[in-house]
């Protein structure tokens, strides 16, 4: 099989470049990916499986997006939000009800032979859905109502969860090893042990402190400026404007989720103002208190 030694040698560093403050997670994910891409996983199991646990907005889903893009040349995970699968009929929704049907999951897998399956907020899934996950982890298959098994041995499977997040937030001054033990104990109490036991890596994510959120915010600002440049808008942002965006977007509990919205809204609002005032497509942003001033350059 093809294995890009250079790419996977630098994989951990590539993941760290996009996922800040979670080096322990990126290192463990990189290890599973290297083994999986070398074909070392059991042939009747997925290439790898993960449970990412931690507060919202700390990089669980983003890490899945990034490692999938790197491993599968820009591909995106096949994502399912488990808050939409909380009833006994959820299994039929996923794999079909009547003979010949394949359901939403079966339909997605018919279009791909490899990649990543992402199941967000696994704790919200109905117990019958968890039975389906057991089959996926144990035999690397699902069997839709059509009756034809679909193989998953060329897929990575990721589950995310906020289990134990409240306890972790209350323990913010405790050593991470203590927080990790507490969260994983809560996971063991909440999810079925036979399911947890089949997942290769169970990783607890850190809460992101202000310094890390600031680093991520700067990367988000750079990324949004680059995206807008592709639309023909050239923006220079002063350090004072960066301070405003970081201050507005920082949230101790929600992590980076509010930050992205603040960065996108503020920069796009500046473009709208520039257009309405006829300032052209090259603009400079400066701060006056909490106000962002837009001028041509």
pLDDT digits (tens, 9 = 90+) for 35-67: 999 999 888 899 999 999 998 899 999 999 999
Closest CA to 80 of 69, 71, 93: 93
Give residue 176's pLDDT.
85
pLDDT for the residue numbered 192: 92
pLDDT at 2 over 80: no
pLDDT at 297 (0 to 100): 84
Which strands make up the sheet holding 155-161, listed edge to edge?
78-81, 115-120, 155-161, 48-53, 201-204
Q: Where are the beta strands (DSSP E) in the chain?
A: 48-53, 78-81, 115-120, 141-142, 150-151, 155-161, 201-204, 234-237, 282-288, 291-296
pLDDT at position 156 is 98
For residue 143, give the DSSP letter.
-
Structure confidence by residue, pLDDT tens digits, 33-42: 999 999 998 8
Is the pLDDT at 32 greater than 70? The verdict is: yes
Q: Which domains does the chain have, with CATH numbers?
A: 5-204 (3.40.50.300), 210-296 (1.10.8.60)
Average the pLDDT over 74-99 and give the result.
Answer: 94
| Cα 271–Cα 268–Cα 227 angle in degrees, nearest 5 | 100
The reported pLDDT for the residue numbered 98 is 86
Q: Is-contact 161 187, C-beta < 8 A?
A: yes
Select the more confidently predicted residue: 115 or 4.
Answer: 115
């Amino acid at each position: 099989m093809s294995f890009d030694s250079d790419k996977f040698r630098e994989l951990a560093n590539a993941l760290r470049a996009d996922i800040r403050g979670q080096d322990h997670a990126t290192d463990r994910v990189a290890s599973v990916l290297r083994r999986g891409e070398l074909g070392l996983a059991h042939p009747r199991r997925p290439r790898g499986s993960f449970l990412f646990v931690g507060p919202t907005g700390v990089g669980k889903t983003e890490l899945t997006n990034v490692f999938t893009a790197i491993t599968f040349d820009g591909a995106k995970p096949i994502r399912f939000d488990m808050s939409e699968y909380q009833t006994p009929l959820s299994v039929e929704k996923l794999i079909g009800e009547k003979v010949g049907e394949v359901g939403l999951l079966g339909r997605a897998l018919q279009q791909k032979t490899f990649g990543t399956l992402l199941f967000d907020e696994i704790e919200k899934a109905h117990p019958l859905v968890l039975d389906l996950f057991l089959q996926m982890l144990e035999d690397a298959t699902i069997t839709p109502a059509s009756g034809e098994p679909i193989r998953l041995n060329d897929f990575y499977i990721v589950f995310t969860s906020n289990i134990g997040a409240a306890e972790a937030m209350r323990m913010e001054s405790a050593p991470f090893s203590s927080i990790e033990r507490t969260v994983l104990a809560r996971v063991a109490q909440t999810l079925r042990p036979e399911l947890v036991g089949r997942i290769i890596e169970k990783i607890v994510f850190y809460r992101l402190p202000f310094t890390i959120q600031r680093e991520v915010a700067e990367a988000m600002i750079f990324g949004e400026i680059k995206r807008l440049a592709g639309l023909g808008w050239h923006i220079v942002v002063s350090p004072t404007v960066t301070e405003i965006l970081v201050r507005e977007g920082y949230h101790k509990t929600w992590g980076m989720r509010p930050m992205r919205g603040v960065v996108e809204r503020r920069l796009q609002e500046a473009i709208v103002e520039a257009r309405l005032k006829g300032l052209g497509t090259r603009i400079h942003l400066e701060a006056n208190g909490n106000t962002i001033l837009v001028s041509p350059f």
